[in-house]
Each structure stands twice: as structure tokens, then as C-alpha cells.
């Protein structure tokens, strides 16, 4: 049986070997568990209890999950400990505690006679494809919602970062879910993507990843009719107004591009700054970027870990070199560090560019690394035009003390999420998803949960008065 070696990107060491899954067997198990098993027929209250058991199991192993996530992704342990793992647990808790509110049948008020109800039914077998940048968190988003709705699951983590997904599978088994409800697939997407995405027994695909991969999935899925959620790439813009809180905005802007080594689809990789404060803003930002401490994520002093792989680092480096060749000015970083203690990992110094033009590749394409482009603007309208000058539409942020102005600007921004004087906050109560090349469909909130259901309309008449249809051909 084939295996994949799992690498710690901070050290280049093999930390695990994972066997490839039997794909036909997993699909059959999920199909049988849905069509012949008890899971989709359980009451909402019973599903709630199962989700709470999963959350409790994750909480009991929170430290182990955090350390494993850091070893597998390279991200600093404080990010895994205080962001990824608690957020994953809270997602299961939230949908457990709100599934009855969101999924109970609803009555519709009709102008005509009769009564209508909406029923929220499970879709069937759901294929959940998860990227390598937030392996446990995004898996938890998708799984909590899909399970809450009564679906069975094929979870496909990245072959680079399968370890916390496999531990989550063990926790789910310990929670006592029926056999076949959750199946983790350790396989390479390029090898089995066509089979999985076109398989007639898979009823829905929820994908988070690159736009190019999303297009391939849609192509394969077009051979039959499936429900799709596509959360794809981004080239998000941050608009910094002259009346912002400068210190707070600089610090937040650093986080918005360099958190998780810049490997975020919502990374604010284009920072648009009002000319009146641009010089001061860029100087402060660059000086702080130079001081970011790179290192092993398990070191408590580390502020930025490695990129996910040597191959990915080469891709990020090629963006930097092309930007320089096109005339952009590199203020700091943008290279492989020469420190001996970092030479075994896939580290990369955070890069800050100015003199970037809208037609440059660095402005238009997703780098997915710690590389930021700084541009200046004179008028509010110019900032909006620059922000919208992208094939993506995932997220944006606006920094201003004038909230009325910021909210007005937000309405003109073509992005699924706009943050004002904050960044990167995802709420289980609120939907998340992009526009344009960033995909379609939502995760989280009532809207996201119901993506994992099929909505059935049932209309009935009391027969106290015969409906018009009873007389249409009455002769």
C-alpha cells in the first residue's frame, strides 16, 4: 500500500508516514451509512449531543492537537494554541447548540389559501476538501455543519498536513458516531480528484483551496449534478485612510499579511495608503517587518514559522524576483534567510514592496506567502477602484476613525467580507465566502449551515374549501 511522508517544514524532518486510503471502499461506506444507516434519521437533539461529544473530545486533547498542528504546518504554537484549536472546538459547539434553531421546519405565510412549510433535509454524501494552511480549523467548519445537517462525510485533507484530521477522526470514533458516517481520505488530490469529484454517489463537494484547483473540481463535477461550495483564492486589499489610528493600523496590517506566514486566502497582500500618511506608515510598517523573528513554531519566541514546503517557497521567491524585474522596489526581506539554525526548514523573510503598479503580477495574482505590496492613493474613489481592480473578491479591510465614511466605502468594495478597524475575525454566527474568482457559497452562520441541506417546500390544503385546481377540468 502506498504511503505519504509527512514533513515538519521547520526542520525538513519526516514526522509521520500515512497510508493511502481505499477510495472506493470509503465512498461505499459513506453511501451505505447515509442510505441504510441511522445517522440521517436521528433527531436534531441526538445530532446535537454527538457534536458536543466531539467538541469535548477535542477539548480533552487540545494541547496535543495544537502541538501536532504546529509540527505539521510550521505555524507558531501560540497561533495553534490560542486561535486554531479553540476556534475549531467552538465551531462544533456552536452548531450543536444552534442546529435546532436553524434546521427546524419553518412555516411560510401565504397570501393564497393553504399552508406551506420548509423542511431542511441532509443532502447525502458530502466530500469536504481541506487545504494545508488551516487543516483542523477548516475541517471543523465543514464537518460540524455537514454533520449537523445529517450528512455523511468524506474528508480529504491535504496530503501535506493530514495529521490533525486523522486525530479528529479518532476523536469522532470515540464519540460513538455510527460506522461509516465520517471517513478520512489520505490520498493525493491530483491522483484521485477526477474519480472523487465526478463520482455519482457523492452528492456535494465543499472545497477550500486555490482558484485553479477549484476550476478543475467544477469541471470534473459537471459530469453529474452536485451541490458545490467553492471557497477559492484571494488578493485582498486593505484601505488605510489618513484619519486612522496610525499605530494600531500598522500593527494590525502586519498581522493581516504576515500571520500564518502570509499563507491565508484573506491575507491583505495589497495595502492602499492615503498619500498624506504614506511615508510614515510605510516606514513604521517596514521597520517592524524587519524585526519579525523567524523560527521553529515550537519556540515560544517565534513570531513567524516556515512556509509549508520547499516547492511552495520557490513559488513565492519567483513572485519576488518577477516583481523586482517589473520595477517594484523591495524595501526588506524577500529572500531565504542565511541563519544556520533556519537552513533545514523552508523559511522566508517577509517582503515589503513599494512602487507597485496595478498591472504588475505581484498586484494581481495570489502569492500565498509573506509578501505585501504598498500603493498610495489621493482620493477615496481611487482607493475603491484599486481595491476592486482584481479578479478576486474574498475580503477587504478599511481603517478610519470615521465609521460612517468607512461603512460607506465598504458598500462599494466587491468582497464577501469587509472588516472595519479590525482584521481576520471569523464568527460562527456570520457567513463567510467570496465573490468573483474567490468562489461562491458560504461557510458558517445560518446561511453556511443551510448550504449543507436541501430545502424542501411542502404545501398542503385543508380541503375545507376545494382549491381552484379541483375545478379546472370539472365538466
Sign of CA dihedral 11, 13, 15, 16: positive
Q: Which residue has the cell 488578493?
A: 235
By the 10 Å C-beta count (0-12 exposed, 13-18 middle, 19+ buried), 385 is classed as middle
Cell of 139: 475541517
Question: In whole angstroms, how far apart are CA 195 and each of 91, 113, 181?
Answer: 30, 48, 20
The one catalytic residue among 265, 349, 366, 443: 265
How far is 314 from 363, CA to CA, in rounded Å? 19
Q: Phi and psi (nearest 5°) for 88?
A: -65, -45
- Give one DSSP letter per residue of 349-412, joined into a string: --EEEES--TTSHHHHS---SSEEEEEEESSHHHHHHHHH-SSEESEEEEE-S-HHHHHHHHTT
| Annotation says 231 is catalytic | yes
Q: Which residues contact 383 (CB under 8 A, 6 or more apart)?
A: 239, 272, 274, 377, 409
How far is 121 from 244, CA to CA, in rounded Å? 47
- Give one DSSP letter per residue of 280-342, joined into a string: HHHHHHHHHHHTPPB--TTSTT-SB---S-HHHHHHHHHHHHHHHHHT-EEEE--S----GGG
The pairing of strands 13-19 and 3-8 is antiparallel
How far is 433 from 266, CA to CA, in rounded Å? 10
Burial 252-270 (b: 16+ CB within 10 A, else e): bbbebbbbbbbbbbbbbbb
The one catalytic residue among 69, 231, 376, 443: 231
User: ∠414-417-420 over CA atoms, to 5°?
Assistant: 100
How far is 315 from 312, CA to CA, in rounded Å? 5
Q: Which residues contact 38 (CB under 8 A, 6 or more apart)?
A: 178
Q: Which residues contact 128 (CB under 8 A, 6 or more apart)?
A: 139, 142, 143, 146, 153, 154, 155, 156, 206
Residues marked active site are found at 231, 265
Amino acid at each position: 500500500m502506498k504511503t505519504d511522508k509527512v514533513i515538519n517544514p521547520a526542520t525538513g524532518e519526516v514526522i509521520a508516514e500515512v497510508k493511502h486510503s481505499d477510495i472506493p471502499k470509503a465512498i461505499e461506506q459513506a453511501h451505505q451509512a447515509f442510505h441504510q444507516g441511522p445517522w440521517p434519521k436521528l433527531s436534531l437533539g441526538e445530532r446535537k449531543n454527538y457534536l458536543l461529544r466531539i467538541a469535548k473530545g477535542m477539548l480533552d486533547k487540545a494541547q496535543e492537537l495544537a502541538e501536532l498542528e504546529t509540527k505539521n504546518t510550521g505555524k507558531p504554537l501560540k497561533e495553534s494554541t490560542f486561535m486554531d484549536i479553540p476556534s475549531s472546538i467552538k465551531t462544533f459547539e456552536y452548531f450543536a447548540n444552534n442546529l435546532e434553531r436553524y434546521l427546524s421546519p419553518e412555516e411560510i405565510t401565504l397570501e393564497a389559501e393553504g399552508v406551506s412549510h420548509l423542511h431542511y433535509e441532509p443532502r447525502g454524501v458530502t466530500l469536504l476538501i481541506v487545504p494545508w494552511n488551516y487543516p483542523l480549523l477548516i475541517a471543523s467548519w465543514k464537518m460540524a455543519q455537514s454533520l449537523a445537517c445529517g450528512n455523511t462525510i468524506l474528508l480529504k485533507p491535504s496530503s501535506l498536513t493530514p495529521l490533525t484530521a486523522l486525530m479528529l477522526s479518532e476523536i469522532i470514533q470515540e464519540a460513538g458516531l455510527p460506522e461509516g458516517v465520517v471517513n478520512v481520505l489520505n490520498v493525493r488530490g491530483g491522483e484521485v480528484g477526477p474519480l472523487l469529484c465526478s463520482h455519482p454517489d457523492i452528492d456535494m463537494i465543499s472545497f477550500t483551496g486555490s482558484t485553479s484547483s477549484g476550476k478543475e473540481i467544477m469541471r470534473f463535477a459537471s459530469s453529474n449534478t452536485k451541490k458545490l461550495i467553492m471557497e477559492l483564492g484571494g488578493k485582498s486589499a486593505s484601505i488605510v485612510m489618513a484619519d486612522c489610528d496610525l499605530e494600531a493600523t500598522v500593527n494590525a496590517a502586519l498581522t493581516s499579511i504576515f500571520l500564518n506566514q502570509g499563507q491565508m486566502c484573506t491575507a491583505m497582500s495589497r495595502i492602499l495608503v492615503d498619500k498624506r500618511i504614506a511615508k510614515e506608515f510605510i516606514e513604521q510598517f517596514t521597520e517592524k517587518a524587519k524585526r519579525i523573528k523567524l523560527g521553529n513554531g515550537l519556540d515560544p519566541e517565534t513570531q513567524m514559522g516556515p512556509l509549508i514546503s520547499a516547492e511552495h517557497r520557490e513559488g513565492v521567491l519567483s513572485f519576488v524576483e518577477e516583481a523586482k524585474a517589473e520595477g517594484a522596489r523591495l524595501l526588506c526581506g524577500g529572500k531565504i534567510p542565511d541563519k544556520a539554525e533556519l537552513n533545514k526548514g523552508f523559511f522566508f523573510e517577509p517582503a515589503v514592496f513599494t512602487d507597485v503598479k496595478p498591472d504588475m503580477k505581484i498586484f494581481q495574482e495570489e502569492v500565498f506567502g509573506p509578501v505585501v505590496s504598498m500603493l498610495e492613493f489621493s482620493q477615496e474613489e481611487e482607493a475603491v477602484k484599486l481595491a476592486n481592480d482584481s479578479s478576486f473578491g474574498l475580503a477587504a479591510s478599511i481603517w478610519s476613525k470615521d465609521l460612517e465614511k468607512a461603512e460607506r466605502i465598504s458598500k462599494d468594495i466587491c468582497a464577501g467580507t469587509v472588516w472595519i478597524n479590525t482584521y481576520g475575525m471569523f464568527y460562527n454566527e456570520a457567513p463567510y465566502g467570496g465573490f468573483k474568482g474567490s468562489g461562491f457559497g458560504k461557510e458558517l452562520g445560518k446561511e453556511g449551515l443551510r448550504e449543507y441541506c436541501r430545502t424542501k417546500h411542502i404545501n398542503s390544503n385543508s380541503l375545507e374549501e376545494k382549491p381552484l385546481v379541483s375545478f379546472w377540468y370539472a365538466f
